Structure 1
Amino acid sequence: MPLYEGRHNATNKIQISPEAKNSIVMGEKNCIRKIADDILEAKGAVALDGWYGVDFAGILAELKELCTEVEFIPVQSVYLPMEKIREYKKEYITEDPSFGYCNMDGRIVDLTDPEKIKDLKSRLGKGVVVYGYGAAIPELYDFYARTYYFDMTRQPLLWSMWDGKLIPFALDQPDPQYDWKEYYYCDYYLLHFQKHFIIEKMDYYVEAVKKEELKILPKAAYDEVIRTMLKYPVKEVEIYQPGPWGAYRYKDFWDVPGLECNAWNELAGPELSILIDVDREEQLNLPFVNLMQYPDKLLGRYLSETYPHLFPLDAWLDDGYFPDKQPAERISMPIHTHPSTDYVKTNFNEPIGRYETYYIAEAYEGANTWMGFYNDADLEEWEAKCRKSNNHEVIGDWKDYVCNWESNVGDLYLIPPGTDHGHGGNQMVLELDTCPSIAGTEYSFFSYDFARNSWDDKTKTMTGKPLNMQLDHSFRVSKFRREDYVDKKLRAKPSVIKWTKEYYIDRYSSVPEMPFEIERIHYQHKGEYDTEGKYCHIITLTVGKTARIYSKNNPEYGTQINLYQAAVIPADFGEYVIESEGDGQHTATLVRWKKG
């Protein structure tokens, strides 16, 4: 599952105090020296905790050269045997080939041996360092004089996992049996809740994405960076993924080395990272979800209380431009559907279902969207054909069942759970959706992908195995919505909700089950809006070259985005201005929750 990062115009430049700025230690040698000095000077034991993917082995090798009299104890020594850990994880990995069951109540201590914990406590004192995932769990935290937390952004970790290099709990070498479901449905939550615990108590935060680029922030400086970020609109490092419907409009906007086609790119969401310029020699690179340390400020009280730990919104761009005419079977997404909140809670222990929208940002000749079924389609026959095919045999008459809609710029398709659909190509789609998972996982149930080959990123060709279907889930959740229902309910229309001589705002119609609003700000030079202290906005520039977004009351708190770039506007931001240079119409499209 290849992913590529795009960092163009992704830097968030902020102003922090000179004290905080100057307290940050940058560079591998400086950081190793700082940690070593702290170990030697500490009056008790030191913990080096962190997220998966941190190069503890490399860091420890250098520390041991400077701390020759120190005892380094791997926290793996307190874990249960692997056979017991695997037994514990079975409940969350499940037999479902595509999904698991979230370990929302688990903690790292569940994987440890109480007697080994007791023995470790008796050994802790000056000149002792415990290192590894969970080194400072609540059961051990009070026995340390210093705690460091080493953090990792999510994309490099995934690359490590897919390459078979990830070292999981209890081991000091990669586990060839380790599977992505084990991470997303069990280990992610154990790591997440440990980080949630330690981030408030740590002495030092360490950016450890690359060992050769370590950065250490004292707790006070780290907190100031996070609090300050929430005063600004936030840009994220985008990710791109090739795929069997991948297209080529991206080449006109972004240079992404290695990317040979673009099925979609994520503009904003919880799994991305952020770059922060604090006016030092290097930028900070942190997970976006670190801003969830202050969820009320980021999301508003309603969302933070209703969905604890969850950033529930995503923005994606589905590429659909082809220089030459292509068949629908090449340029279309799979026919698929999404689950409701009740379904994901029951089946996957997730907090919210997948609610989607397609906003058509660009339309080319033949722009179209697949949604619903024709009024006279035999849907029992359709299901039987999909099951017989299982995406290995071509369904020659599939277009007789799935309804096709011509698209134009500004069209909005509402896609509540149970609506069979797929981007049909020849269009640029801005997807504004819910994110159902704290771990950032997505729930799409495929029923038919035209029995085509998928993308092989090693050869850069469409020669991979056909995608797997989720037929039981798909037909279980499908509401088999017909053409008339789609036309009347799901092809949304905009209505003006505010008009001034400088700008106006419109809002698209909706249906009750959709939890968010899609709105647009249209302006010649500048427009205004307000988060009201309770609505987090994700705003994307969909018409225009660039735009500056800044606080109306404090204009120094601002950022600049390009066409098809998004910014997350924290709920605490209040009244803001979006302003563009040059003549002509500009449009910014945004998503926000209905309740606040």
Structure 2
Amino acid sequence: MSSYDKEPIIAIDGWEREAWAGYASIAGRLAEHAAGRTRTVVVVECYPGVRIEEIAAGFSPLRPARVIRAEDAALSAELLQAKLERYLTDDRVFGYMAPFHVDELYDGKKLEFLAEQIEEVQEGVILVIGFGATLLTKGDVLVYADLARWEIQQRYRSKELGNWRANNEDEDILRKYKRGFFVEWRTADRLKRSLLDHVDYYLDTNRKDDPRMVTGKALFAGLRETVRRPFRLVPYFDPGVWGGHWLEEKIGLEPRENPYAWGFDGVPEENSLYFQYGDIRVELPSINVVFFEPKALLGEQVYARFGAEFPIRFDFLDTIGGQNLSLQVHPLTDYIREQFGMSYTQDESYYILDAKEGAVVYLGLKEGIDPGSMMADLEQAQQGEVSFPADKYTNTFPARKHDHFLIPAGTVHCSGTDAMVLEISATPYIFTFKLWDWDRLGLDGKPRPVHIEHGKRNIQWDRTTGWVERNLVDRTERVAEGDGWVEERTGMHELEFIETRRHWFTAKVPHNTNGVFHMLNLVEGEEAVVESPSGEFAPFIIRYAETFIVPASVGPYTIAPTSRSQGTRLGTIKAYVRTCTNR
């Protein structure tokens, strides 16, 4: 039975009286604001994807004299499409990072009309709701309705939800995700960052007809608590055409018709957090802690370099009993900036958490190949004329448990079958240019997107066998040791900003963030305990394969075997941003 915790919580003590569950309780709390007042304007600002009509119905006990739906003042679908078109592009997967603020998506005259309707009502409760509601008024009571990106994606997939004002519920999921990623979420995040620390209440709308609400003060108490201690994100797992069976068996997941391919437990832009206020659990996007506690979380040096963005992610790629990943390459920094508006690129590495005999990683090109011939073969394969002879052009290296393969942008690569990869990567995680996908269709029965033209412009043709062996394959160097522990540098390559260190230990290991956040995974052993030498946080138990974050503000901490792990060798892999002071 797996001990992996699929529902990690962060207990927020002392704020239990400032949390409510269910529409009846929440509406009752808001009604208290209206009691004794002639007129109360309740504003519910919404993240795109929130079920607005559900909230309006749930707030009906307030008996609003008028309900104003802010989105009635939005640009028409046609005008909105014309405005966004340059950023959406014709590509199925990739767009360009859009610079919009919410007011640019609205019609000024229509906003004036709705504002007049609010002012017309002189008595009772006026409910103003929608994405952009605060363009009309901040009101007397301000509620922010939020939800996690993974939940948005589930609503996209079920066709319950289309993009904002797009009427495209039946559109290809990749195109809906693209519009969310490049346009809607960027715009909504700008509004959230300008607004959230001023709200009276925060409304968790992740579960249908089951809302949770906390005061703004209780929410920010939770954010402050999070950056004072190690914590885990709420993981999620997704099937894929090449999926294996390791995640199902080792993590303890429910079997699926299509095997799990991905596991995400270290992607703050996509994962969520569970805050526990007494008996009430509130789910919020983990990006919120990045937005509102960036210095304490990231550290000043990382914040100065990346802004309020978490630049490292950990995720799982499971091909054990499955198939090869697509043969792929990631964009160079200049290319991703010019083509997609991203400020840094997807450098990464494969840490082999587990592997079967015969597993391999495809990495780099063979010596002396002709680029023109390789591209011609890729194009023929994409047209369905032949299968691409990957072994003719790419190196394969045996993949054994605890090997570490470095993959700076521009390097052709993929994991073969029968490997369980812990992918340690820079955060721009959708920028994969597939070159070849092994003659297969996606789970939707459609060809998976292949981007040969993008790939051709980014492949570094000089990353051939000798260079790859010297620079990218299992570069392990012992850098420190103590009583019962050894520290090894396992990467990354000098072209990448991520540093990785592995610790083998049977006794307590000292660590120090030195002002820069750490992201870690327990890659060997049943469980360990993370502790503060000065008792600044409660002992924090981690279990095999769990990813966790240690905020920069924590400073010194230790990791040691628990009583259940005594007498066995444990291992952690740690990643952090390489800076001028921690190389």
Fold shared, TM-score > 0.5 on shorter chain = yes
Deviations 1:43-98 (A, max 9, x none): 5422111112222212212323x233521100012212221111111011012232
Instruction: Give the whole-Å Cα distance in 1 for the aligned partners of 2:512 and 2:64.
Output: 58
Instruction: Give the whole-Å Cα distance in 2 for the aligned partners of 1:501 and 1:290.
Output: 39
- Shift of residue 584, structure 1, vs aligned partner: 1.5
SS in 1 for 2:354: strand
CA contact (8 A) 1:445 1:474 kept: yes
**1:454 paired residue number:** 442
Which one-letter code corresponds to 1:493 in the other structure? Answer: R
How does 1:335-346 map onto structure 2 within 5 Å? 335-346=327-338
Instruction: Give the whole-Å Cα distance in 1 for the aligned partners of 2:400 and 2:58.
Output: 59
CA contact (8 A) 1:108 1:191 kept: yes
CA contact (8 A) 1:9 1:561 kept: no
CA contact (8 A) 1:242 1:263 kept: yes
Which one-letter code corresponds to 2:572 in the other structure? Answer: A
- Shift of residue 395, structure 1, vs aligned partner: 2.3
**2:47 paired residue number:** 51
Instruction: Give the whole-Å Cα distance in 2 for the aligned partners of 1:200 and 1:379.
Output: 53
CA contact (8 A) 2:346 2:427 kept: yes
- Shift of residue 167, structure 1, vs aligned partner: 5.2
Which one-letter code corresponds to 2:443 in the other structure? Answer: W
Instruction: Give the whole-Å Cα distance in 2 for the aligned partners of 1:332 and 1:176.
Output: 30
CA contact (8 A) 1:548 1:561 kept: yes
**1:202 paired residue number:** 199
2:133 to 117, 128, 135: 135
Instruction: Give the whole-Å Cα distance in 1 for the aligned partners of 2:100 and 2:214.
Output: 29
1:551 to 518, 532, 538: 532
Question: TM-score scaled by structure 2?
Answer: 0.91
Query: 1:539–1:317: structure 2 CA closer, same or farther, 3 Å change rule?
Result: same
How does 1:146-165 map onto structure 2 within 5 Å? 146-165=141-160
Instruction: Give the whole-Å Cα distance in 1 for the aligned partners of 2:385 and 2:263.
Output: 29
Instruction: Give the whole-Å Cα distance in 2 for the aligned partners of 1:571 and 1:283.
Output: 26
- Shift of residue 116, structure 1, vs aligned partner: 2.1
**1:123 paired residue number:** 117
CA contact (8 A) 1:274 1:288 kept: yes
- Shift of residue 211, structure 1, vs aligned partner: 4.2
**2:495 paired residue number:** 513
1:384 to 348, 371, 376: 376
How does 1:398-547 map onto structure 2 within 5 Å? 398-436=390-428, 441-455=429-443, 464-480=445-461, 481-532=463-514, 534-547=515-528
Query: 1:21–1:419: structure 2 CA closer, same or farther, 3 Å change rule?
Result: same
| Matched residues, number | 563
Instruction: Give the whole-Å Cα distance in 2 for the aligned partners of 1:247 and 1:336.
Output: 19
Deviations 1:285-326 (A, max 9, x none): 11111111110111111222222232111101222322xxxx
**2:303 paired residue number:** 304
CA contact (8 A) 2:24 2:58 kept: no
CA contact (8 A) 1:498 1:506 kept: yes
- Shift of residue 468, structure 1, vs aligned partner: 2.0
Instruction: Give the whole-Å Cα distance in 1 for the aligned partners of 2:107 and 2:526.
Output: 58
SS in 2 for 1:466: coil
**1:320 paired residue number:** 319
Deviations 1:242-286 (A, max 9, x none): 2232111123222323534122212201200112233x2232211
**1:180 paired residue number:** 177
SS in 2 for 1:455: coil
CA contact (8 A) 2:483 2:507 kept: no
CA contact (8 A) 2:403 2:474 kept: yes
- Shift of residue 497, structure 1, vs aligned partner: 2.2
Which one-letter code corresponds to 2:415 in the other structure? Answer: H
**1:62 paired residue number:** 58
Instruction: Give the whole-Å Cα distance in 2 for the aligned partners of 1:417 and 1:44.
Output: 55
CA contact (8 A) 2:163 2:176 kept: no
Gaps of 5+ in 2: none
CA contact (8 A) 2:23 2:58 kept: no
Query: 1:258–1:155: structure 2 CA closer, same or farther, 3 Å change rule?
Result: farther
- Shift of residue 168, structure 1, vs aligned partner: 4.3
Which one-letter code corresponds to 1:119 in the other structure? Answer: F
The RMSD of aligned alpha carbons is 2.2
CA contact (8 A) 2:319 2:419 kept: yes
CA contact (8 A) 1:394 1:450 kept: no
SS in 1 for 2:9: strand
How does 1:17-28 map onto structure 2 within 5 Å? 17=14, 20-28=15-23
Question: TM-score scaled by structure 1?
Answer: 0.90
Which one-letter code corresponds to 1:588 in the other structure? Answer: T
Instruction: Give the whole-Å Cα distance in 2 for the aligned partners of 1:305 and 1:391.
Output: 46
Gaps of 5+ in 1: 1-5, 323-329, 457-463
